[in-house]
Structure 1
Amino acid sequence: MPNQPPLWPFSAVQQITEVLEWRTDILSAQAGEQRIALRPRPREIITLQHRCDALGLARAAELSRAGFAGDWQVPLWHLALQPTADLAQGETEILLDTTVSDFRAAGFAVLAIDGREAVLVEIVTVAADRIRLTEPLGMQLPAPSVTAARIAIAPIRQGVLASAIEITRRRQSDGMVTATFLLSDTPDLTAPVLPSYLGRPVQTNPSLVRSPLSASLRRTVEYVDNGFGPVVVEPLRDVFERGEAIALKAQGAPARWAQRRWLWSLRGRQSSFWLPTWGRELQLRAAMTSGSTLMRVAPVAALAGYVGRPILLEMPGALRFRTITGAIADGFDHRLTISSNLGEPVPLGTKVHFMTLVRSDADRVEIRYGAVASEVTLPVVEVLE
């Protein structure tokens, strides 16, 4: 199309990587910290891999030679969808769920049939269940009618090449092309609806339960050693820091889009959220009645260490959140008082976990997209607010 940057036309067939980069200034104090957002919207960097034949490898080389330093129209293949109905030449609408991708009115999209090179279409308006095109479909389709299962539709964003194009030949007519783009016009995505407690969202992604949780427990201290006597440990901060690396997985377009929106809502190291330990720390010694606020558990901490700790209870109907307000010894057990009753019986064997208020410990987040699922590993650290 006239006056438009060139299209990067290759369909991605390997893993796609999306990097989100924020900037946050952390001001640490003895009893807390202040977080200042220096970049409200992230920079988006995507890396696409394409498997090409000899002609495709040659086209990639010549395209990059001609337009390396300029703008490109970049298909977002990690946000590609299949239409919900077959397409025919002459149609001006494409039916698909636009709420789980980044299609924009007065923008562009690309079609790829059977994994071949992408072709450009221009969008007039975007509705929840369809996009409307400026011109009827024609040469974009290889036949008068194409079944939906053969079609992939992806939104377009403008970007610049962020690094050198890499071409790796396996054989004379088989190779891999790797291209990394820095995208422009970053969207401001809304946060997905998550359970909340005390004004903070609770991350309850089921993949957290199935993934390994690695944790480090630390406190900022200074070791004083004069070389002659014992080593003295001097605390520098009042805050005890629990650091973890969590792995989140999402399968299917709606889950992948929700995961992306949630990462957006963190704004790097800016926002905090509740993270259950999923460690079953509190093991009930007796069932609880619906009106009871007393929880009898096996000892796991000093009595003072329970007070003020938020907990999650895996009830049969839903996850429930409470705070421990008191603790006393009861024989060989500990009896805890929670902030309010559950309104339903709590059977013996209910899983009860501590919750920790955390924030991301990185301003750079990398999302790895496969054919049907995405995965992100996120370091987090405990905070007070």
Structure 2
Amino acid sequence: MPEQVGLPPPLFWPFPAAQEITEVLEWRTDVLQARSGEQRLALRPQPREIVTFRHRLDALGMARATELARAAFASNWLVPLWHMALQPNADLAQGAMEILLDTGLSDFRVGGYASVACAEVAMAGEDATAVQIAAIQPDRLILSAPLVLPTSGAIVAAGQITVAPIREGVLTSAIEIVRRRQSDGMVTASFLLRDTPDLTAPVLPTYLGRPVQVDPSLLRQPLSANLRLAVEYVDNGFGPVVVEPIRELFERRETITLKAQDAADRWALRRWLWSLRGRQASFWLPTWGHELQLRAPMSAGATLMRVAPIGPIAQLIGRRIALEVSDTLRFRTITAAIEDDFEHRLSLSSSPGTPMPLGTKVHLLTLVRADTDRVEISHGVGTSEVSLPVIEVPA
């Protein structure tokens, strides 16, 4: 890895993570709001990545962490990204020149490094091993030198090995050591990573040129939702209070939580968060609220939908909806609406293409963006979770 002018060569931070890892992505967006819209200017198109590791170490490990920090606190560090670690698809032998694994699910780079940790030696407080990557194929890492595993065995089972990419970074705060006993303590270190990757967006269904977030692991948290219109209350102290709208846009804010249950989901979640670029990009989000309840079944070619009333009829014209039919989501626009006794008749932009019996779930579709430039991801054992506040934007 390239050295920074005036700084000593990078040192390897070799300690395996013992507890939950926190990763923070920070963009910077200037949102210019007008009465009927907004403009978003990207001031930092690539995020800053800050990772916080917690290591459980014995007395020797804590002493080594202390001396490493004392020797090169302000230096560049080679930091294993344990939250992106994968297990090999085959056992590893001493002197091996390749590691079989799915390289498309983590941030491995040609010419960079990977960290190899054995569960056996990690339990004993031993360090991980850094190996340089000479080439990358879809199903394997090819190493620059024979692998030397930190164990006495000639072969280590794949289930006992974790392989993580290594990135260069700098310490962002003081290293904290909490000593529970003389030979048992927790070391916490936070790093700002360099060389941010440029990830491609995952493949999602699209509607009207924008992606639709339909991840089944997405959980709505309606208790955190709030609805408002930006207004100003005019009170001269003598007469009635007058409410003056400041903007024409109704603001709906909610918090969504996404969970990744395996390495593939975790990598897809990372790519999706990258595609949002903080508050810059917008996407469609189904409410999953089953707001439109059918009063009559629909044929495959029908464009007229009869539903139970939910509010003023004029509010529904132009709204986008998601139809749960045949185990898929189909997206349509309400083009017209009329009242008919105790139901509303809605005209759709096109037919559903398949019959819709009574009980078919129909949700409103909202165009939203992230309401923050700072995203915090919690990485546990094999899973990742992120909570993201979102706000409705004009369609």
Please say whether Structure 1 and Structure 2 have the same fold, judged by a TM-score greater than 0.5.
yes
Cα distance change on mapping 1:307 and 1:210 into 2, 3 Å: closer
Aligned: 1:28 with 2:33: yes
Amino acid at match of 1:197: Y
1:19-60 Cα offsets, whole Å, 9 max, x none, are 000010111111100000011100000000111111111111
Identify the residue that residue 285 of structure 1 maps to in structure 2: 295
Identify the residue that residue 144 of structure 2 maps to in structure 1: 134
Identify the residue that residue 388 of structure 2 maps to in structure 1: 378
Question: Tell me, what secondary structure is at the counterpart of 2:12?
Answer: coil
Question: Tell me, what secondary structure is at the counterpart of 1:265?
Answer: helix
Aligned: 1:339 with 2:344: no
Aligned: 1:205 with 2:215: yes
Q: CA deviation at 1:214?
A: 2.5
* 8 Å contact kept, 1:214–1:246: no
Cα distance change on mapping 1:380 and 1:211 into 2, 3 Å: closer
Aligned: 1:181 with 2:191: yes
Give the Cα separation in 2 of the matches to 1:138 and 1:242. 56
Question: Tell me, what secondary structure is at the counterpart of 1:11?
Answer: coil
* 8 Å contact kept, 2:207–2:331: yes
Give the Cα separation in 1 of the matches to 2:239 and 2:10. 70
Q: CA deviation at 1:317?
A: 3.1
Amino acid at match of 1:185: D
Give the Cα separation in 2 of the matches to 1:280 and 1:14. 39
Give the Cα separation in 2 of the matches to 1:213 and 1:247. 13
Give the Cα separation in 2 of the matches to 1:149 and 1:211. 36
Alignment match of 1:103 (pick from 105, 108, 119): 108
Identify the residue that residue 311 of structure 2 maps to in structure 1: 301
Give the Cα separation in 2 of the matches to 1:242 and 1:212. 11
Give the Cα separation in 1 of the matches to 2:224 and 2:364. 16
TM-score by length of 2: 0.95
Aligned: 1:90 with 2:95: yes
Identify the residue that residue 163 of structure 1 maps to in structure 2: 173
Amino acid at match of 2:179: R
Structure 1 runs of 4+ aligned residues shifted over 6 Å read none
Identify the residue that residue 53 of structure 2 maps to in structure 1: 48
Aligned: 1:81 with 2:99: no
* 8 Å contact kept, 1:209–1:278: no
Q: CA deviation at 1:64?
A: 0.8
Identify the residue that residue 251 of structure 2 maps to in structure 1: 241
1:233-278 Cα offsets, whole Å, 9 max, x none, are 1011111111111111111000001001000000010000001111
Give aligned-pair identity as a percent. Answer: 66
* 8 Å contact kept, 1:92–1:135: yes
Question: Tell me, what secondary structure is at the counterpart of 1:177?
Answer: strand
Uncovered stretches (5+) of structure 2, i.e. residues with no partner: none
Matched length: 385
1:297-343 Cα offsets, whole Å, 9 max, x none, are 00002110110000011112311111111111122111111110011
Cα distance change on mapping 1:84 and 1:8 into 2, 3 Å: same
Q: CA deviation at 1:103?
A: 0.3
Give the Cα separation in 1 of the matches to 2:136 and 2:223. 41
* 8 Å contact kept, 2:9–2:76: no
Q: CA deviation at 1:140?
A: 4.5
Q: CA deviation at 1:288?
A: 0.3
Uncovered stretches (5+) of structure 1, i.e. residues with no partner: none
1:137-193 Cα offsets, whole Å, 9 max, x none, are 235453211110000000000000000001111122111110000000000000000
Amino acid at match of 1:224: V
Question: Tell me, what secondary structure is at the counterpart of 1:263?
Answer: helix
* 8 Å contact kept, 1:297–1:335: yes
Task: Please provide the CA RMSD for this pair.
Answer: 1.5
* 8 Å contact kept, 2:303–2:349: yes
TM-score by length of 1: 0.97
Identify the residue that residue 17 of structure 1 maps to in structure 2: 22
1:344-370 Cα offsets, whole Å, 9 max, x none, are 100110111001100001001000000
